[in-house]
Structures are given as C-alpha cells and as structure tokens.
Amino acid sequence: MFERIRDTILERGCTLPREEITPQTDFYVDLGWTSLDMVGCITDFEDETGKEIPDETLSGISTVGDLSRVLESL
C-alpha cells in the first residue's frame, strides 16, 4: 500500500524524489498539501478500491504512514 501511495503522491505533482517519501512524510508539512489535495487523493483511492474511507478517520491522517494504515484497515 505504501508504494501505491507514493505513486499517487508523485502523480499529483510532488517534486520530492521517490526515495525521500517515507511513512513519516507529512502531507501538510512536508508536501504542502491543502485539505482539498487530501480529499482528492482519498477520493482516488475510494474510486479505485470501491471502499469508502470513514469521515472520522480523516482528521487522523497527516503522514503517509497514517494513510497507509487507514487504507490497509478497510
């Protein structure tokens, strides 16, 4: 799942080299994402997997690792 998230981040125009995106990478602090960037990313995953990410988990996602854990738990 981590690799898939890395792909998505890079597809979304991230200028960091792939190897610098780690589970600790913070979407907002390190990548400068807005709330809308996060919702767009999550919507892509929902469309791809057909599973919905519960709204109440959104606030707990700030790093790549957080998102990976949420997606794996679906």
Partner 1 sequence: MAKEKLTEQQKLEKRKIHRTPTFLFRFMSRLSKFLYYKKCGVSYTYNIDLKPFRGKPYVVVSNHASRLDHAFTAPAFYPDTFNFVVGYNEFFRSHLAFLMRALQVIPKKNFVPYPYAVKQITRVIKQGGRIIIMPEGMSSISGANQPCAVGSGQLFKFLGVPVLYTKISGGYLTSTKYCLDERPGRVDVVVDQLFTPEQLKTMTADEIQAELDRKLWHDDYEWNKTARARYDGHGELAKNLHQLLFRCPKCGGMLCMESAGNTIRCKVCGNEATLNEYYDLIPKDKTCVIPDTPRVWFDEQRAQIRNMVAEDGFLLAEHVKIGMLPKYGYLKHGATSEIVGEGTLVLDREGIHYDGTKNGAPFSFSIGILQLPTYGMCTDVSRFYTFYQGDFIEFYPERESAELWMMATEEMHRLCGGAWKDFPEKALV
The CB-of-27 to partner 1 minimum distance in angstroms stands at 8
58 contributes a contact to partner 1 by CB under 8 A? yes
Please count the other Cβ atoms lying within 10 Å of the Cβ belonging to residue 63: 17
The CB-of-72 to partner 1 minimum distance in angstroms stands at 19
Tell me the window of 2-10, 11-19, 35-43 that interacts with partner 1 (CB under 8 A): 35-43
42 contributes a contact to partner 1 by CB under 8 A? yes
For the stretch 30-46, what's the b/e string if a residue is b when 16 or more beta carbons lie within 10 angstroms of its beta carbon?
bbebeeebbeebbeebe
